[in-house]
């Protein structure tokens, strides 16, 4: 088994280094070495659970993760493989840190291209300091930047992804939803379309969590899930409204200093609007941490990448009679379309979702 992993690591390393210039070798080296530590350091979950020195909370979390994995296979038709049958302790809060960048007056994200994964709207690091250093350079060049810690990532089926301690430091529902999300990436992935990939995974995660809670949760837990989903919807709409206003601003032919000032004012208004939104949530403060960092285009891009196409996938799920296998087949057909045509189809689905929501409200 270890020989197989070593072979994959060597092949991956050679692919990366063959396409890398001298300045990129260091970056790719940290990717390979960082993942290699995890691959070679992980242990079977059963061994961890049976270890008397492991605390009860970790055992419970691991058992819950295994149950979520099995639920994903049996109820969501997600891939059945060796992923999430092993465990690795990173001994830190995040496994990687991702850098996201956008122009000062645009919501089009910068992209970075890699073998296998294609072009994606983030650049990942195994060390926070390295991620921040790269982000600072982008900021010096005039980009809006964001550095986001990640608790998990998918190797898209190249390796059997392990459970990480970073995944377990969450609530029960969050552990389950994260596993659904990451397995969804193994189900379907499109090179060069981060928004399609992440929105697809978020939809599967949300739908899976609703089913998971319905099967396991009490009435109180289901009610809390509904509240959480409504708050998340409010948060996303708040950012979407801000993005729409700023897109109108960026389209104007005005002096950059004036545009910069108006941009700052709109982000200040976003903070004010958030405080009002919290009042409607009876003081719920779950998004305070997100708002504690600088608000800029890259921060809004990060959220948009994960959520913009979710309504389209909701419409597609309904169109396929809420059957996961049919839904996956339909999503795969979309993934094979040229980028511009796929974007048009996703827009049509989003419009359909709006019509369905409007009809339901009546």
Is the pLDDT score of 9 beyond 80?
no
SS3 (DSSP) at 319: helix
State residue 28's pLDDT score.
85
Over pLDDT 90: what percentage of the chain?
Answer: 77
Answer yes or no: is pLDDT of 3 > 60: no
Task: List the alpha helices (DSSP H) in 128-218.
Answer: 128-140, 165-168, 172-187, 194-216
Residue 218 is given by DSSP the state -
How confident is the model at residue 23, as a pLDDT?
Answer: 52
Given a cut of 70, is residue 19 above it in pLDDT? no
124 burial via Cβ count (<10 Å: 0-12, 13-18, 19+): buried
* Mean pLDDT to the nearest integer, 287-308: 97
Average pLDDT over residues 164-177: 93
Nearest CA to 313 among 187, 127, 130?
Answer: 187
pLDDT in tens, 57-87: 999 999 999 999 999 999 999 999 999 999 9
Whether the predicted pLDDT of 4 surpasses 50 = no
What are 180-233's pLDDT values in tens digits? Answer: 999 999 999 998 899 999 999 999 999 999 999 988 877 788 888 889 999 999
User: Rounded CA gap, 106 and 296, in Å?
Assistant: 10
The CA distance from 82 to 69, in Å, is 10
> If phi over 0 gives left and psi between -120 and 50 gives alpha, with beta otherwise, what is residue 42?
beta
The pLDDT value given to residue 42: 96
Say which DSSP state 103 is in. -
Any idea what DSSP says for residue 161?
P
C-alpha 335: how far from chain center: 18
Confidence bin at 360 (pLDDT 50/70/90): low
pLDDT of amino acid 219: 78
Integer Cα distance of 287 and 291 in angstroms = 6
Mean local confidence (pLDDT), 144-162: 93
Is the pLDDT reported for residue 1 higher than 50?
no
Element (H, E) at 114: strand 112-114
Average pLDDT, the chain: 91
Indicate the pTM of the whole model: 0.90
Q: Identify the pLDDT of residue 145.
A: 98
CA distance 77 to 312: 20
For CA atoms 331, 111, 242, 347, give the dihedral sign.
negative
Mean pLDDT over residues 88-114, rounded? 96
**pLDDT of amino acid 18:** 40
CA distances from 332 to 6, 47, 54, 321, 341 (A): 31, 37, 42, 16, 14
Q: Is the pLDDT of residue 296 over 80?
A: yes
Compute how many other C-beta atoms are within 10 angstroms of the C-beta atom of residue 89: 17
Mean pLDDT of 262-286: 96
Quick check: 284 pLDDT over 70? Answer: yes
Torsion (CA) 333, 339, 344, 348 in degrees, nearest 10:
40
């Amino acid at each position: 088994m270890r020989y197989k992993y070593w072979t994959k690591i060597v092949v991956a390393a050679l692919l990366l280094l063959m396409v890398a210039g001298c300045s990129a070798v260091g970056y790719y080296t940290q990717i390979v070495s960082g993942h290699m530590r995890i691959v070679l350091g992980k242990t079977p979950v059963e061994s961890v659970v049976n270890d008397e020195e492991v605390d009860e909370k970790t055992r419970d979390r691991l058992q819950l993760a295994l149950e979520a994995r099995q639920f994903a296979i049996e109820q969501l038709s997600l891939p059945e493989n060796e992923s999430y049958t092993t465990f690795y302790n990173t001994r830190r809060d995040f496994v990687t840190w991702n850098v996201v960048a956008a122009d000062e007056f645009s919501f089009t994200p910068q992209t970075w291209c890699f073998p296998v994964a294609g072009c994606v709207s983030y650049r990942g690091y195994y060390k926070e300091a390295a991620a921040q250093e790269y982000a600072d350079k982008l900021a010096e060049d005039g980009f809006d930047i964001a550095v986001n810690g990640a608790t998990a990532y998918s190797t898209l089926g190249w390796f059997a992804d392990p459970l990480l301690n970073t995944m377990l430091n969450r609530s029960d529902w969050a552990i389950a939803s994260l596993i659904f999300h990451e397995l969804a990436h193994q189900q379907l992935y499109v090179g060069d379309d981060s928004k399609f990939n992440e929105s697809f995974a978020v939809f599967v995660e949300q739908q899976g969590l609703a089913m998971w809670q319905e099967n396991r949760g009490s009435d109180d837990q289901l009610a809390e899930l509904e509240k959480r989903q409504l708050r998340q919807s409010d948060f996303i709409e708040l950012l979407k409204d801000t993005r729409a206003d700023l897109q109108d601003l960026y389209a104007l032919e005005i002096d950059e200093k004036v545009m910069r000032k108006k941009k700052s004012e709109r982000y200040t208004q976003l903070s004010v609007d958030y405080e009002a939104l919290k009042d409607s949530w009876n003081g719920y403060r779950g998004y305070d941490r997100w708002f504690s960092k600088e608000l800029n285009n890259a921060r809004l891009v990060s959220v948009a990448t994960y959520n913009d196409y979710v309504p389209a996938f909701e419409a597609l799920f309904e169109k396929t009679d809420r059957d996961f296998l049919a839904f996956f087949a339909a999503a795969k057909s979309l993934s094979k379309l040229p980028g511009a045509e796929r974007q048009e189809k996703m827009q049509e689905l989003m419009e359909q979702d709006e019509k369905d929501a409007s009809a339901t409200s009546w």
